[in-house]
Amino acid sequence: MSTPPPIRRLSLEDPPAASEATAPPRPSSNGHGPSTGGSPFTATRRSIGAPQFSIRRMEIDDVSVHYGEKEAVKHVSLPVRQGEVLALIGPSGCGKTTLLRSLNRLTELTSTARLSGSIRLDDVDITLIEPTLLRRRVTMVFQQPNPFPMSVFDNIAYVLREQGSRRQKKKTLEPAVHSALSRAGLFEEVKDNLDHPALKLSGGQQQRLCIARALAAQPEVLLLDEPCSALDPQSTQVIEDLIVKLRDDVAVVIVTHNLQQAYRVADHVGFMYLGDLVEYNSASALFNKPREQRTREYVTGAFG
């Protein structure tokens, strides 16, 4: 309990599993279910290849989070890199969401939460960055699709409009709104209905609108808290493809309790259990050759 979990830091030069890059692309990212062999994760991970590059954006260093007396996150250290997707997996209540929320200081909204250790964004401690500025650089998408009750256009424009300044004209915001929607792969579907209420979109479209909203702030890090858990498989696949596409522009951190999903989208995976970071490794290594007993049991479905 008191000893920090073993963490293997992967250096930037660490070659990502070479077999993935050369593997033939598969038509669909579904169907990575259990196949032959001891591990259920022997299939090709996904059609998109290994990361082209990776730049360290955030550094989580010995972070613990307490809610009152309860310690939700215990001495976790992790890098967050642009160019790849980091997935945090683990059973519910293991602290993965708390860790995610502490990356843009959302935990501070809970009055009982206390954080120790340090989190740095581009080598600046995030406690030194004004929260609203930090949250524009590290944006977040939530479990439930939660567009604001206004038009599709206004949802994005709300993020773009600077606080306190005069409301800009719709025309001047248009290019930025369109680009945010395109980056989230939603523009083609909604371009004729930008004035329609956002809450009348389908669940998958709503979630992509939330991603577009988070991207509109031009963040360096995008946090996703179980973004697909309220969605159907088809929308899930669209969003997973989108997540992988985004990794070159922003550092992506995704929390998920869906192991298959982590396997499909992530380049690196951190497995958390009861607040501890049990294992951190590249996705293929963690799923296929887990070093820790706990990880092996979790990824093979012995507990969950």
Residues near other proteins (CB under 8 A): 104, 106, 109, 132-136, 139-140, 142-146, 148-150, 158-159, 163, 197-200, 203, 210, 213-214, 216-217, 223, 230
Residue 85 or 152 having the CB closest to other proteins: 152
Q: How far is the CB of 181 from other proteins (least distance, A)?
A: 15
Q: How far is the CB of 23 from other proteins (least distance, A)?
A: 36
How far the first Cα of the chain sits from its last, in Å, is 20
Q: How far is the CB of 249 from other proteins (least distance, A)?
A: 17
Q: How far is the CB of 220 from other proteins (least distance, A)?
A: 13
Residue 104 or 281 having the CB closest to other proteins: 104
Residue 63 or 224 having the CB closest to other proteins: 224
Other beta carbons less than 10 A from residue 116's beta carbon:
11
- Nearest 5°: phi and psi at 130? -60, 130
Q: How far is the CB of 232 from other proteins (least distance, A)?
A: 12
Residue 205 or 295 having the CB closest to other proteins: 205
- Nearest 5°: phi and psi at 98? -60, -45
Q: In Å, what is the CA distance from 154 to each residue of 1, 117, 149, 172?
A: 48, 38, 9, 13
Residue 70 or 200 having the CB closest to other proteins: 200
C-alpha–C-alpha distance, residues 81 and 89, integer Å: 17
- Nearest 5°: phi and psi at 146? -135, 60
Residue 63 or 134 having the CB closest to other proteins: 134
SS3 44: coil
Buried b (16+ CB within 10 A) or exposed e, 125-156: ebeebeeeebbbbbbbbbeebebeeebbbbbb
- Nearest 5°: phi and psi at 283? -60, -45
List the structure tokens of 48.
């998109």
Q: How far is the CB of 75 from other proteins (least distance, A)?
A: 25
Q: What residues contact 107, with CB distance under 8 A and at least 6 apart?
A: 65, 98, 101, 113, 115
Residue 212 or 286 having the CB closest to other proteins: 212
Q: How far is the CB of 94 from other proteins (least distance, A)?
A: 20
Inter-residue contact 108 to 131 (CB < 8 Å): yes
